[in-house]
Structure 1
């Protein structure tokens, strides 16, 4: 593919296929032009066209990359890479490659994940630049789109650095800059993410109504800032940002576990809109087993066995299918809709308030405020039908309980388990016990070999690869 500077923005509906097709570029700084191209200058003279440009970004996020629940998304392979899913397909499938830890720097899925994500970032930057340079858009639309752009750019870079380590932080569509861009360390990436999120906050709406949280809000930005503080073990910031969301009466945990992943869930902070009015989140189609044995993935037996007796999440969020030999397989059943319904019932939940209770619990525990930490853990446990933890000041007991709650609450949701294993610094201990071929350097994926050849400034390769 020839090197080109993107001067065009891709619109959804009649151009959305071009957006998806053109993700197969040779490097993340190359983005092909759709056949029906509309110049940026035209798009950003009209509020509706500008909003449609950002809608194309959201459609891409739902279809591919770190935030996608689709078969091509990272959610499935990261769960197989850690200790949640077992692969049953051929050794060449993406899930099997990650499950078997046979990935390499030349693995197609790794290259695609990198390229797709940077293509998404590139298109986000195109929206930000188009909005900033427009003198025709209304101030309301300009603020909203810029806020969404900064938020999305931060979140995607956060996933990249959590997965690959040192990475480029791309803030421009300038090809001459991007073709030789270097890497930043994780702490530097975090700093850039914070800057983008803090820039986004005053531009975003405070909240959106239940069932319509398909765009980022201030609450979504606070949630990502809280997650970053959790990763960095900055417990004061973790408390600050988690409190901002939990204190908002519009964001409440659903008492009924079967309502958590419905589009009208009050605990949903941000979710992605499905493809059409009768479509549902991809996760039901990806995970639900209609036949057994599985042809792609199912939950690991040791994961099932680790649920505490009486945990209602096991009944509500895990389905099962038995084959002709009477062997039972288990699958994630958080999303109940396999395909379409008369109207959409389930949206793909990217951020939800339960995560903030778990982040705040750890912050309280680490700061020695054990009673408050226990109360937050018990909020999650009690909703799942489990008895409250007894009061204790033993930090090890409380952290182990918290780890189990995160495992049972957030399983198969966009890599939480993989990133948690690293956060608690027990990835090697856990993974070696479950996958003998695990190596310490597997805590990061390799940088795509093709990218290192095209841009030497991305060297060195991650250790071990």
Structure 2
């Protein structure tokens, strides 16, 4: 892993990024700033933290042009029409990635860069004299970001390093730890994180996460660890909050002012479209990037309004493709932010956790609102196995192109082999990506390489 060696400089970098975007009213330092200066007051500490969010939006696994499309083509939700494979996307699409794939490396390297920045903020705020409530909040937000990134790294790469310091002498020789241990540490960190964060948002657009964001992330870890009862409790805590309400209008799901949104990322500048609006867009010509797969389009039941409202057909020369059309603003945007977590995920995770505990009747109370909003009939009494299959389908229809949901949901349910009929190159070892060769050469402690690569 390549880590910055100068903590003060990386914090300066983040503060400069945020100052340029005017996300916070903080004067740009004229030269350098030490870590003690960054955390001398709440305003400068918030500037460093806001810069971390800008980095997440611009170039990280959470960016709208990263795991959504990358894992979409890797599974069966997207087709790639790239003309060349300079960035490794076609290799991912054909499940032929290697340890030199540039897209694989970008996911790995950008995640660890932001993890380093989060650790710098955690260290800085712990050593500061900031008021206790502010110290807790800033540490909690940085720890949550670190935990989310490590969760996605574990899901995509399997055993991974778990850096908790900015000491490059430590980080440059870290070994990978087993997936079970990564998840155990995440459970501990997220439980602690939830205790640090307040419920109330510090921004009306919910562009900074709160306690419920941490509790949702903790529930996702519980689900992967098959701790169904703990997941149920965490998810019901979120649903019990007056901060949220189910959005019954499909046309408003991706509008930034809805109370079903748990956390979202703001575009760089006022009026900018979110990245998801642009990365999937094509019109008037055959796609040269991504299009929705026939498998995904055909997975929708007749009458499903999501197919009508969240997809757009493009017909050229007698051929028809479908593009993702969840985010509508491709020029001037004043109504959309990039959603990371929304309430429908809580509903479907809770339905799954309940079904896994044979509470199928109660589980129907959480899958049916999602179905009925889409114009589908409510499910009635079904077996556990059939219900889990329906929940998996609903996740696909609800969250296509969002944050790599399809891959994560199939993996959590031990159903990645379902890809075989439409992904002929799919092999069992494709449940994880290779560790990038660049970093193995820099740090031999990252060996052994994942099986199959």
Q: Same fold by TM-score, threshold 0.5 exceeded?
A: yes
Shift of 1:379: 1.4
1:120-150 alpha-carbon deviations (Å, 9 max, x no partner): 0000110111111112x23333221111011
Counterpart for residue 428 of structure 2: 440
Displacement, 1:74? 2.3
**Counterpart residue number, 1:165:** 158
Asked if 2 retains the 8 angstrom alpha-carbon contact of 1:180 and 1:457, the reply is yes
Are 1:424 and 2:413 matched, yes or no? yes
Q: Secondary structure at the match of 2:326?
A: coil
Structure 2 match to 1:256: 249
Aligned to 1:29: none
Secondary structure of 2:421's counterpart equals helix
State the alpha-carbon separation in 2 of the partners of residues 50 and 388 from structure 1: 49
Unmatched tracts of structure 2, length 5 or more: 22-28
1:415 matched to 2:408? The reply is no
Correspondence 1:206 to 2:194? no
Q: Which residue of 2 aligns with 1:6?
A: 7
CA contact (8 A) 2:5 2:168 kept: yes
Name the CA distance, whole Å, in 1 between partners of 2:3 and 2:385.
56
Q: What's 1:187 paired with?
A: 180
Paired residue for 1:49? 44
Deviates more, 1:350-359 or 1:41-50: 41-50
Which whole-Å deviations, capped at 9, do the CAs of 1:199-236 have from their partners, x for residues lacking one? 21122121328942111111101111111111121110
* 1:345 correspondence with 2:332: no
Tell me which of 351, 361, 366 is aligned to 1:361. 351
CA contact (8 A) 2:158 2:179 kept: yes
TM-fit CA distance, 1:152: 0.9
Q: Does 1:132 align with 2:126?
A: yes
SS for the counterpart of 1:307 is: coil
1:241 CA drift (Å) = 0.6
SS at the partner of 2:348? Answer: helix
Contact map agreement 1:77 1:94 (CA 8 A) in 2 = no
Determine if contact 2:125/2:135 at 8 Å carries over to the other structure.
Answer: yes
**Deviation per CA, 1:37-81, whole angstroms, max 9, x where unpaired?**
4221221112211111011100010011210003xx222111111
Question: Contact 1:284–1:339 at 8 Å: present in 2 too?
Answer: no
Give 1:2 shift: 10
- 1:34-183 alignment runs, 5 A limit: 36-70=31-65, 73-92=66-85, 93-135=87-129, 137-183=130-176
Aligned to 1:433, the other structure's residue is in SS state coil
After superposition, the Cα gap between the structure-2 partners of 1:288 and 1:77, relative to the gap in structure 1 and judged at 3 Å, is same
Equivalent pairs, count: 443
Matching residue of 1:244:
237
From 201, 220, 230, give the equivalent of 2:223.
Answer: 230
1:329 aligned onto 2:330: no
Deviates further, 235-244 or 189-198: 189-198
Query: 2: distance between equivalents of 1:210 and 1:368?
Result: 39
Alignment check: 8 A CA contact 1:361 1:377 kept: yes
Q: 1:456 aligns with which of 438, 444, 450?
A: 444
Deviation, structure 1 residue 278? 1.8
Instruction: Tell me which stretches of 4 or more aligned residues in structure 1 moved more than 6 Å.
Output: none
- Counterpart of 2:25 in structure 1 is none
**Residue segments in structure 1 that go unaligned for 5+ positions in a row:** 20-33
* Distance (Å, rounded) in 1 between the aligned partners of 2:241 and 2:426: 42
Distance 1:370 1:5, change over 3 A: same
